[in-house]
Amino acid sequence: MKLYRYQKGWTQQDVAERLLISRKTISSWENSRSYPDIFMLVQISDLYHVSLDDLLREDHEMINNYKEEHTMNKRVDKIFVLCYFLNIIGAVVIVLKPILPFLSNYLPKPVFTIISFVIVSSFIILVSYADWSKIKNKPGFWITWLIITLLEVRLTFPVNVPINDNGIGYIFGALTGNVLVALCLTCIVWLFPQFKERRAK
C-alpha cells in the first residue's frame, strides 16, 4: 500500500483524510502491524485505482492474515452453533424440572449440577461470540426478556418462604435464577438468525 501511496504523491495524512481514519491506522497497515478489513480494503482499492488482486499480491503477510482470520471465524462459528444447541437442551431441562416432578426422580442432584454447569459455560461462550450490535438496540429483545422472566417467576417462584435472613436469601437466589434462565431463553430466540447464518457457512 505504501508503494501506491508514493505513486500518488500522498502523505499518510492525505490517505487518512480520504478514508476518514487516523494517520496512525495508515502507518500501522503500511508497517504490517495490523490490516484493513475487507470493507476498507475495497475502499483502498478504489482510492488507488488498483484491483483487489493487485493490492493483495503486493503483501503476502496480508494474505496470510486473511487466511488465518477466515480459519478462526469458521472455528468460532462451529463453537457458536454447538453452544446454541447446548443452551437449547439445557434450558429445556432447567425449565421443565420444577414443572414436571418426574424429572427430579430421573435427574439426581449431581447430574443436574453438571447440566447447570454446562449450560452456564456454553451460555457465556455463546454471549461472547454473538454479534450484539444486531440486537442490543432492539426493544423487542428487552421486552422478550421481561415477559419470559415474569413467566418464569410465575411458574417456578417458591411460595410460603419465611421472611427471615435465610428466606430472603433464598428468594433472592430464586429471582436471580429466574432472570438468568429467562435471559438464556431470550438469547435462544433472538440469536436464532445468527445461528442459522453461521450454521449455513
Q: What are the residue boundaries of the structural domains of the chain, listed by start? A: 2-58, 76-200
CB neighbours of residue 178 within 10 Å: 20
Q: Which long-range contacts (CB under 8 A, 24 or more apart) does 34-42 make?
A: 35/62, 35/65, 35/66, 38/66
Per-residue confidence band for 103, with pLDDT thresholds at 50, 70 and 90? low
Per-residue confidence band for 106, with pLDDT thresholds at 50, 70 and 90? low
On average, the pLDDT of the chain sits at 82
CB neighbours of residue 119 within 10 Å: 24
In whole angstroms, give the CA distance from residue 96 to residue 80: 24
| DSSP-assigned letters across all residues of 77-140 | HHHHHHHHHHHHHHHHHHHHTTT-THHHHHS-HHHHHHHHHHHHHHHHHHHHHS-GGGTTT-HH
DSSP-derived 3-state class of residue 37: coil
Greater model confidence, 127 or 168 = 127
Mean pLDDT of 68-90: 87
DSSP-derived 3-state class of residue 100: coil
pTM above 0.85, yes or no: no
Q: Could you report the per-residue pLDDT of 20-53, keeping only the tens digit for each?
A: 899 899 888 888 788 888 888 888 888 888 888 7
Quick one: 29 exposed, middle or buried, by C-beta within 10 A (0-12, 13-18, 19+)? buried
- Helix %, strand %, coil % of the chain (to 5): 80, 0, 20
Q: Could you report the per-residue pLDDT of 130-150, keeping only the tens digit for each?
A: 888 888 788 999 999 999 889
pLDDT of residue 99: 64
Superfamily designation of domain 2-58: lambda repressor-like DNA-binding domains (1.10.260.40)
Cell 440469536 -> residue: 191
